[in-house]
Structure 1
Amino acid sequence: MKRIGVLTSGGDSPGMNAAIRSVVRKAIYSNIEVYGIYYGYAGMIEGNIKKLEIGSVGDIIHRGGTMLYTARTEEFKTEAGRAKGIEQLNKHGIEGVVVIGGDGSFQGAKKLTEAGYPCIGVPGTIDNDIPGTDFTIGFDTALNTIIDAIDKIRDTATSHERTYVIEVMGRHAGDLALWAGLADGAETILIPEAPYDMEEIITRLQNGHKRGKKHSIIVVAEGCESGVAFGKKIEEATKFETRVSVLGYIQRGGSPTAGDRVLASRLGAKAVDLLLEGKKGRMVGIQQNKLVDHDILEALSQKHTVDMDMYTLSKELSI
């Protein structure tokens, strides 16, 4: 293999640039040319492909977002759309592709592999919802962004003696809510993976108020319930002054943490190694701090789970 491509697809996540940098420099170190495919699969269809050099990825390891940009496209889900993308790969002599993104991006990588283009998936999503890896690129940074926001909200919650409901990202996975809630001592955490008992939540808030607690923090994953709607329920049931903060896209931005930079660097280089070994249709990941690889569809067929022991612990510590 003498020429590979690299793209980012789906939602951006902090650390994607570090992964791009790792893919490019590991490949060049291994005497392989690298081409950046801009705007994900949409750019592949349009032929928005440019050669990357060592200097192309200089000064990006600390930057959030993705220098290759990202976009979503329905066209690539069709056979005709993929044929256009493959035509562009052939035109540029690209023999393999590293795809950095989430589950939708990995589905596209599998389709390309089936069409004869070896692909390796690198998990990049703040939701941490990809089976086969303990952590995804961007999760640690987003988590710390949330914790920083909650710390600031707690200051005003204390000053005004209010209950605050904080909605965080996580449409299908509660990792961000769970980790942030536990780290910030939230009284209640709502995640998609576990049902909640409204009466229990109200009782906990009222008991805290009775013993002199002046404020409460509730963290809600967006996939569980709307923070605004839940805040109204809390205020109506307790009569406590309640405010809601929806953190939104602030969670995706910012300079990646050291953890995400190192993880992205390790996974990006591993992806290149797999292509050199002749592997295809695989995803890289990290489990128990060891680099691993799995068949993409086999990994995605598994159900993502959260650590329910952590969820139980959060309840035990929020008495």
Structure 2
Amino acid sequence: MHNQLDQLIWRRHRRLFLAIGGLALLGCFMATMLTLHTLPKGETQLVGAGIQNWEAYAGSYFTGFPYWVIAAYWMVGLLMMNQDLKDHFNQFLFSSGFSRRRVYWSKIKVAMVALLAITVLTIALEYGVIWAMKPANVSFHLAWPGVLSSWIIGLLASIGMFALSWFAALIIGQTGALIVTIVGFTLSLVGSFSISVIILRECGIKLTGAQQTWLMAGAWLVATVVLFVWGAILYNKLSLEHNGEYLLFPRLKVPVYIVFVVYVTSLSVFGTDGWSLVFWFLASTIFGYCWLWRPRLGEMFHQWRSRRG
């Protein structure tokens, strides 16, 4: 039964995996070629002096873990869950006798296997292209501490991105609103992490760049576990009753509303004055209320025309 379920999920999403894998490979190849063609003409070292340190490579020309892989995890988590909700593939699996718990974790297992294959191929492509096509004046030396650190931190960030978009696609029932929400939240994470580092520094905790990177990786690990487990709990209660609404789980409206107001206000007013706090609090409160509870403008216009007709 388990193998049959995995095969159903694979056949359902193999085109998605192939498309996103191809996009990651193409994007990585083009980015690597662009980097090689923009290197300075003098002697250049792609990896800096910290080659033996247990920290991720994050130089100007070489990162050790392609960003295209992280984007692939994010896209698969978003599209895989959203497609299954919109095309009623979940209901098909439930009616076939598979338990919701088994379906949920089997989806994650199949996605992780496919994404790990994409990860290996993309990393191999990046490293291989650099080795084969780097100019004679370019030095490219690696060491296991930096390589392993780059891979571990990159994988934790990638899986965290998958869990983030996966969970968002599970609880949000409108595709357009889902994309706007998850893109905005993902972009804001850069600012929120920078603010967290500043707060730690003001509390007397000064972290080096490597320590900040490992702290971020640990945060992704914790977030992944929380989102996967919470998602499994919600998946057992998934219903078509609220299909098409912004939130598929009405009980999440108040928690999501509170988190939205606190998060947007905190991110917007950090380091500013009290008037900015008042403005952003009111703006986020009003916008969050309209977004979660009030009908969209198109629905209001449709209702108005119906009454006039």
Structure-1-length-normalised TM-score: 0.25
Larger radius of gyration: 2
Q: Which has the larger strand fraction?
A: 1
User: Where is the helix percentage greater, Structure 1 or Structure 2?
Assistant: 2
